[in-house]
Structure 1
Amino acid sequence: MAIIIIVTAFFASLLTLFSGFGLGTLLMPVIAVFFPLAVAIAITAFVHLMNNLFKLITLWKNIHWKIGLQFGIPALLSAIPGAWLLTKLTDLENVSTYDLFDFEATMTPIKIIIGSLLILFAAVEFLSVAKKTHFTDKYLTIGGILSGFFGGLSGHQGAFRSAFLLRTTLDARQFIATNAFIASLVDITRLIVYGINMNLLLKEVSLGLIIATILAAFAGVLVGKTGIHKITIAFIQKLVSIMLFMIGLILILGII
């Protein structure tokens, strides 16, 4: 059990260093195999926070502060009405429920809408015309508001944030570092608002496993950082496109 969780944390951290999102999506289902869902969510949230802070420490020199603040703060604030709207839409009738390998998948209207949006973003990234367009400074705030709102509505703010940040003038290193900065703001705010039930964590999970999982995520960042000089923004665009499509598809299918 521990080996599976630790290895997943390492590879998920390595992969998502470049995309800027997806750690929780990859890690939480694996942990949920071995622990109750509430515990799995708590572990994932804590690892996610520590991982983003570690990325921030190791990459802070590459942060584009103007874009980070001009984009990140509106994204942070606009996530609140998005999350509020989500609570109002939860009463909508499910489209379909089905069993998938002993897992109950639930297709809902909001998941289908958000999943379709993510797939649309993925398709746009593959268009050569889109790759030549960039946000000017005056559109950064608008991009932040839209990404934050849809992120709050879907619970997948990282996916929308990465899709929008790719339309800025950031190079590969700046994209990774600035994304980590904004993600840290989101995680810290989420921690302040919701908190992490450490008593629940320590009651259900050994401290050693929590530390080992965090260290594995740190190792993924360090390994990824050694090759960061070889990474181009074109590679990140392709990676983000693939992950946007995958997450959009599994959202539509009700798997997450």
Structure 2
Amino acid sequence: MYFILTLVGLVAGTLSGSVGFGGGMILLPVITYFYGVEIAVPVSTIAQMMSNLSRAAMGWRQIHWRQVAWFLVPALPLTALGAFGFSVVDKTIMTRVLCVCLIVFSVMKVRGKIHLPAGRKTMLVGGGLTGFINGLLGISGPLSSAVFLTLGLSPVAYIVSEATAAAAMHIVKAVTYGKFDLMNMHIFLNGFFIGCAMMLGNFIALRLVSHVNKKPYQRVVACVMIAVSLWLFVTV
């Protein structure tokens, strides 16, 4: 199990470090298979928090702080609200909702349907929606990536700016989960273990990102997630 989780964490970190999303979409179905969704979401939160913090640190000089700030104004409180919702909803329903969201986001990404106008309004509305879904379901990468792609940033600037915003949301989630007794040392250590593997993947990806064609990576991740999510939906 730990070998599989390490391998998945490395792949998730490499892909998310290359295209700006995909780590959570890969992690959640696998961790859910081993632990169930109630534990998988907090574990994934710790792992993704470490992964995003490492990406932000590796490219901090290229972070676009103003755009990140506009995104986080609505994202942080709605992340906390979504995390509270996760603490009270039925976990079986949560698993199925998670699968449906993964499939919808993946299909939209494959078909190129996630296109948003540039501007402050997109950052505010996109941040709010991303934050709530991130807190509730632990998956928001395609949405936040779509929002930051509207800024027309260079690949590294886009990846590290989105990672900065994502890291802030994951910190809020982790604190909120702790307040509702959804976080303990076992969960933290599992997330830390996977997060270390993701950080290695991030390091590899950010060294290669200037040579990476993002579209094939996005399509591969999306197609894999459609298959995995369908399998998880029918076996839960």
Query: Given the two structures, how large is their TM-score scaled by the length of structure 1?
Result: 0.69
Q: Which amino acid aligns with 2:214?
A: I
Alignment counterpart, residue 239 of structure 1, candidates 217, 221, 224: 217
Deviation at 1:191, TM superposition (A): 1.7
Q: Percent of pairs identical after alignment?
A: 23
Given the superposition, is the C-alpha separation of residues 241 and 213 from structure 1 closer, same or farther in structure 2, using an over 3 Å criterion? closer
Which consecutive unaligned segments of at least 5 residues does structure 1 have?
95-105
Rg comparison, structure with higher value: 1
Q: Does 1:217 find its partner at 2:204?
A: no
Deviation at 1:81, TM superposition (A): 4.8
Counterpart position of 1:12: 12
Deviation digits for residues 208-245 of structure 1, max 9, x if unmatched? x87764433222111112112223xxx33553455346
Given the superposition, is the C-alpha separation of residues 55 and 123 from structure 1 closer, same or farther in structure 2, using an over 3 Å criterion? closer
Note if contact 2:156-2:206 (Cα within 8 Å) is conserved in structure 1.
Answer: no
Deviation digits for residues 158-216 of structure 1, max 9, x if unmatched? 23211222222222111110111011101111122113311x358xxxx7x87764433
Given the superposition, is the C-alpha separation of residues 72 and 169 from structure 1 closer, same or farther in structure 2, using an over 3 Å criterion? farther
Counterpart position of 2:152: 169
Q: CA RMSD in A?
A: 3.9
Distance 2:109 2:191 in 1: 34
Q: Which amino acid aligns with 1:239?
A: Y
Query: Given the two structures, how large is their TM-score scaled by the length of structure 2?
Result: 0.74
Counterpart position of 1:230: 211
Counterpart position of 2:70: 70
Counterpart position of 2:52: 52
Distance 2:15 2:146 in 1: 16
Counterpart position of 1:190: 173
Distance 2:25 2:103 in 1: 17
Equivalences for residues 93-112 of structure 1 within 5 A? 107=96, 112=100
Which consecutive unaligned segments of at least 5 residues does structure 2 have?
none
Counterpart position of 2:108: 121
Given the superposition, is the C-alpha separation of residues 215 and 22 from structure 1 closer, same or farther in structure 2, using an over 3 Å criterion? same
Count of residue pairs the alignment pairs up: 230
